[in-house]
Amino acid sequence: MKKLYTIFFSVILLLGTSCNGLYHFSSTRAVSFTPDDVRLSLSMSDFELLGETEITTFSRVYLGFISNLDSINGVEYDRRTVHKVSLKGEKDIKLPPVMKKALYKVVDMYPDADYFMPVYVKSEQQKMFGGKYVSRKALIRAYKFR
C-alpha cells in the first residue's frame, strides 16, 4: 500500500511540474550603429617632452618571502604615510608593486603631464646569508599634448 502511495504521489508530482510555467520567446533583427573600430592617429611629434625622472627603492628580502622596504626615492620609508600611484592606460603599465609607491615623485614633479612612459626598470641584488639587498631604479618620462 505504501508503494502505491509513493507511485501515485510521484505521478502527480511529475504531471504538476511538467505543465508548470509558460515559455515565451520573441526574436527581432537589429543593427548596431556603433563603430567597430575608432582610431586616433598620434605620433611623437604631437607630444612635448616635459622631462624625465628616476625613481628608486631599496629593500631587504629575508628567506625569499619576508620583505622590508627601507627607502623610497632616497628618503627613509615611513609605513604610516604611503603614497601610491598607478598608471592606467589601454594596457596597464607593469611595474613591480614596490615601484608604484615611488611613482608619486613623478606626479609631483610634473602635475600637468598627460602621458607617462617608463623607459626602463633596473634591479640590482646583493646576496647575503639568508637574504638579499634589492635596489630598483626606473626612468619615467613625462609628456604633454601639444
Which stretch of 7-16, 69-78, 137-146 has the lowest confidence by average pLDDT? 7-16
Which residues have C-beta within 8 Å of that of residue 102, sequence separation ≥ 6? 55, 56, 57, 72, 73, 138
Average pLDDT over residues 10-18: 71
Task: Tell me the per-residue pLDDT of 76-101, one tens digit each, with 9 for 90 and over.
Answer: 998 888 787 777 766 666 778 888 88
Flag whether pLDDT at 23 surpasses 70. no
In 10 A of CB 69, how many CB atoms?
16
Is the pLDDT assigned to residue 142 strictly greater than 70?
yes
In the numeric block, the cell 500500500 is attached to 1
Per-residue pLDDT at 72 exceeds 90:
yes
Tell me the average pLDDT of the chain.
Answer: 83
Residues pairing with 132 in the sheet: 61, 127
Ramachandran assignment for 31, one of left (phi > 0), alpha (psi -120 to 50 degrees), beta (any other): beta
Residue 119, Cβ density class (10 Å: 0-12 exposed, 13-18 middle, ≥19 buried): exposed
- C-alpha distances in Å from residue 32, one per residue of 29, 40, 119, 131: 10, 21, 40, 58
What was the pLDDT predicted at 19? 57
Residue 71 confidence (pLDDT):
94
Q: Please state, in angstroms and rounded to a whole number, the distance separating the CA atoms of residues 63 and 55.
A: 26
- The pLDDT of residue 137 is above 90: yes
What pTM did the predictor assign? 0.65
SS3 77: coil
Strand order in the sheet with 131-145: 75-76, 66-72, 47-62, 131-145, 115-128
